[in-house]
Amino acid sequence: MNRLVIIGNGFDMAHTLKTSYKDIINWYWERRIDAFAGNISKVSDDCLCKLTIKDDTHISCWNVFALQNSYFKDIRSNRTCSGYELITELQNHPDTFSIDSTPFFGTILQSIETKGRVDIENNYYQLLKRCTENADYGYTVKELNE
């Protein structure tokens, strides 16, 4: 007899596995920060957000930023602060950096900041509902899904 065992979120959390949406977003920020090394432009973008070094700064590109700010890594290149903490630091300097998120990703980030957790399904549903109820909401359902 074949059996299918479904283990819910309680199992992974009980075993301190980082599988919450918040953990996944933190992992995402870690990858974005790691990608700064070797990026010789002032823009680092993907399908979720765009990180930009503003033109009137002394930082010529993300690679230079990573080298100049090596204090966030120890001598063995181990990270001393999280990707989320570094992104928060970028947000604290709007004259130097800009962070533009897609509407959906922006909602997720705001939820983490205000509630400390994420309900992605509900966030998406609320955005989708607003798009369909109000044609002038600022973006279409297609843009939300991109």
pLDDT digits (tens, 9 = 90+) for 85-96: 889 989 999 999
pLDDT digits (tens, 9 = 90+) for 133-146: 877 777 777 777 77
Query: Does position 1 have pLDDT exceeding 60, yes or no?
Result: no
pLDDT of residue 60: 93
Output b/e per residue, 53-76; b: 16+ Cβ within 10 A.
beeeeeeebbebbbeeeeeeeeee
The domain segmentation of the chain, as residue ranges, is 21-101, 103-145
pLDDT of residue 53: 96
Mean pLDDT taken over the chain: 83
Q: How confident is the model at residue 57 (pLDDT cuts 50, 70, 90)?
A: confident
- What is the enclosing helix (H) or strand (E) of 127? helix 120-133
